Amino acid sequence: MGHHSCCNQQKVKRGLWSPEEDEKLIRYITNHGYGCWSEVPEKAGLQRCGKSCRLRWINYLRPDIRRGRFTPEEEKLIISLHGAVGNRWAHIASHLPGRTDNEIKNYWNSWIKKKIRKPTNTIAKSNQTSQFTYTQNHQFDHFLNQDLPTKSQLQDNTLFSLPNPSFIFDIGSNVQPTSTTSHSRIDQIFQDNSQTWLLNQHQGQAQPPEMVSYSSHSMNSNPLTPLMDNLDNIMVPIEGINVGGGHDQISAVDCLQRNDQINEWVDTQNCSSSYFFWDQEEGQLGGDEIIPSSSNMGTLMSSFPSSL
């Protein structure tokens, strides 16, 4: 037969597509449609293999492609579909108009990575020790326990502002499930003069918040547990403070969107969101996490109650 099908000829270009190449491919496909990808490069005047053209068209150039951030609805769909069918990306993508298997796969892989991320050694980094006196911060407790709207007082999907915006929560993955006595456990929040501290009794250490994370597991024995009691109450998302995770920067978490199953925190500035829920069986919080980066920590901390 005439030419070879794929990418070993020395003329064949690889790597990122240039705008000119895109142009050629788009022009060819819009004029001729596609049937046999292996003859596309030749006819379109491209130094690519047919496979590469196909991929470029399907994942990037075709007109009905959807780009940009996944919507919360899409995220939920991906999560539930993945739960049902596993890594069948093409199948999952077929339920999300305009999205490609590749994109969903990429999304999932970074999602997973985040979940499996090793417990950070945030505590170890701290050189602060606990040689000082402190008082339990009752003001803080009171703030956390204040009345908030209950489920029945809200319409579904109502958006409302929290009394104090810009909370940070970090559920789960920073603490190993088994290690309730882990070094990451936070037992108390308190302040010393104007400094806020998180105390880990196990190690007898206290750190400023930016060095520490709470987790749902650490909630078992810490004073914030009662806040998470049931789904009839809108819960204050004091789950954690964690810096250094990376890519989930948030500028502000200032709204709570409610639906039947999920409490969803919406970062209105970044148009991202995250979820948490109370897992009755596990007796702990589950869900996604949001981790601010150190670059916006100042902002986030400054929105804490002034008493802290």
Q: Quick one: 163 exposed, middle or buried, by C-beta within 10 A (0-12, 13-18, 19+)? A: exposed
Cα separation, 289 vs 114, whole angstroms: 9
Neighbours of 260 (CB within 10 A): 8
Both structure tokens of 168? 């940070």
Of the candidate spans 82-90, 159-167, 178-186, 230-238, the one that interacts with DNA by CB under 7 A turns out to be: 82-90
Examine residue 159 and tell whether it contacts DNA (CB under 7 A): no
Q: Cβ closer to DNA: 1 or 152?
A: 1
Beta bridge partners of 44: none
The CA distance from 300 to 253, in Å, is 9
User: Would you say 48 or 217 has its CB closer to DNA?
Assistant: 48
Q: Cβ(141)–Cβ(190) under 8 Å?
A: no
294 makes contact with DNA (CB under 7 A) = yes
Tokens of residue 220, six digits: 């078992």
**Which of these segments, 155-163, 188-196, 289-297, 299-307, binds DNA (CB under 7 A)?**
289-297
How far apart, in whole angstroms, are the C-alpha atoms of residue 243 and residue 294?
A: 5
Site residues (CB under 7 A) for DNA, limited to 26-45: 35-39
Work out whether 87 is an interface residue with DNA (CB under 7 A).
yes
In the complex, least distance from residue 221 CB atom to DNA, rounded to whole angstroms: 28
Question: How many residues of this chain interact with DNA, rule: CB under 7 A?
Answer: 45
Would you give the distance in Å from CA 42 to the centre of its chain? Answer: 43
Q: Which of 105, 151, 183, 202 binds DNA (CB under 7 A)?
A: 105
* Rounded Cα gap, residues 43 and 244, in angstroms: 50
Q: Is 88 in the site for DNA (CB under 7 A)?
A: yes
Choose between 20 and 147: whose C-beta lies nearer to DNA.
20
| 187 belongs to the binding site for DNA (CB under 7 A) | no
Would you say 107 and 70 are in contact if contact means Cβ atoms under 8 Å apart?
yes
Does position 52 interact with DNA (CB under 7 A)? The reply is yes
Nearest to DNA of 56, 185 (CB atom): 56
Quote the Cα angle for 130-132-133, to 5°. 120
Site for DNA (CB under 7 A): which residue of 95, 293, 301, 308?
293
Q: Half-sphere exposure of residue 75, counting CA atoms within 13 Å on the CB side?
A: 17
Residues 6+ apart with CB under 8 A from 222: 185, 186, 187, 188, 214
Decide if 130 contacts 206 (C-beta within 8 A).
yes
- Supply the Cα-derived Rg of the chain in whole angstroms: 25
Give me the 241-270 binding string for DNA, x by CB under 7 A, dash otherwise. --xxxxx-x---------------------
Q: Which stretch binds DNA (CB under 7 A): 23-31, 48-56, 146-154, 162-170?
A: 48-56
Work out whether 54 is an interface residue with DNA (CB under 7 A): yes
Q: Least distance (Å) from DNA to the CB of residue 90?
A: 3
In the complex with DNA, which residue's Cβ is closer, 54 or 202? Answer: 54
Which CB atom, from 92 or from 285, has the smaller least distance to DNA? 92
Dist. CA 247–CA 285, nearest whole Å: 22
Q: Which is nearer to DNA, 165 or 246 (CB)?
A: 246
Q: Is 14 in the site for DNA (CB under 7 A)?
A: yes
Residues that bind DNA (CB under 7 A): 1, 4-5, 7, 14-17, 35-39, 50-52, 54-56, 59-60, 87-91, 101-103, 105-107, 109-110, 113, 117, 243-247, 249, 293-295
